[in-house]
Amino acid sequence: MDIKRMGVLSAGGDCPGINAVIHAVVKKAILDYHMDVVGILDGFQGLIENRWKRLHYNDVSGILPLGGTILGTSNKADPFHYPFYENGELCFGDFSPKAVNNFREMDIQALVAIGGDGTFHISQGLIAKGLNIVGVPKTIDNDLSETDLTFGFDSAVNVVTEAIDRLHTTAQSHHRVMLVEVMGRYAGWIALHGGIAGGGDVILIPEIPFDMEAIYRAIRKRVSAGKRFSIVVVAEGAKPKGGDFVVRQKVQESHDQIRLGGISYVVGKKIEERTGMETRVVILGHLQRGGSPTPFDRVLASRFGAAAVDLVVQGQFGYFPALKCNAIVPVLMEKAIQSLKTISLNDPLLGVARSSGICLGD
């Protein structure tokens, strides 16, 4: 296709590296293909409300190291299930015809949608309505299938590792059990990588329902060895054997309505009751999403952004650039959203954790 003008948006949760993608998309589109580029504001909400701005070469200069996204984002703007209020009541409607019409009015022939599984689901629906869309895989959770890594993950793990490093000193000084709760939804990638990198003593992930007795034994074993403190890294989606997730709240307007959080308080209270050791809980929350991307994420995001423009030019709509064995390859978005990428029980990294003396709660 002869693409003269393309759009780019970032949807879903923010994370470090989005601006690096935008930087690569705009510069490659302008320099290599002499395209005009339109930035759609606040994700699919901007597409529904027809809010956008032209992105020139100088508009993206200097944004590569910035966290967040210069275009804004939204995780409550599904065009097929769009929230609005009528007579004071929250309602939902199908605003996809409006999104399609605004796409046409912007005079763009293609769109690069930066996001995770929710963004890819929405993109698939809009592709079915005739829009030309290419995806870019983004999530700190690293739970998007068909790609080895998503950008944002390395930056989040870096934050978790630094936090654990800092907590080690206060845990050791006060002889406490410090529990660090991290994001990841229903996948334990952040907890496992961050826990190993930070030297956690216990790591609890959603893929392995935990047994509190195993956790007590691990902590007591450390005490008997003269180590009067422990670091417990808890994924927000971790759950006990026979139990369920701890849900902090439900957000009706969001694509992912369930907000997990608080499992570390449950675990911490039980540890204190059974071991007699003082516990403290630190929930890192949105600290993991903020700040500058790591060099690895800057490079990966740039590779994804440049590859996405090539996919647009080649007319490979419905695809996204994925990382496989350090190569960038095109993969259908519909394949990536068929299931979440979680940690296999045969994953070698679990073996690394166990051989390092880390308790995984089983």
- Tokens describing residue 351: 């073996």
**CB-CB neighbours of 28 under 10 Å:** 20
Distance CA 296, CA 149 (A): 11
Do the Cβ atoms of 40 and 7 come closer than 8 Å? Answer: yes
For 73, the token pair is: 């984002």
| Options 14, 78, 117, 141, the catalytic residue | 141
Strands (E), 175-260: 177-182, 202-204, 230-235, 247-250, 258-260
Token reading at 115: 């996001």
Q: Find the largest Cα–Cα distance for the chain.
A: 70
Per the DSSP assignment, residues forming a β-bridge with 179 are 232, 281
Residues 198 and 163 sit within 8 Å (Cβ to Cβ): yes
Residue 152 near residue 139 (C-beta atoms within 8 A): yes
* Residue carrying structure tokens 């895989």: 137
Helix residue spans in 89-152 (DSSP H): 96-105, 117-128
User: Is 141 annotated in the active site?
Assistant: yes
**CA–CA separation, 110 and 193 (whole Å):** 36
Contact by Cβ (8 Å): 338, 29? no
Would you state the structure tokens that stand for residue 24, as one six-digit string? Answer: 């690569």
Catalytic residues, by residue number, are: 141
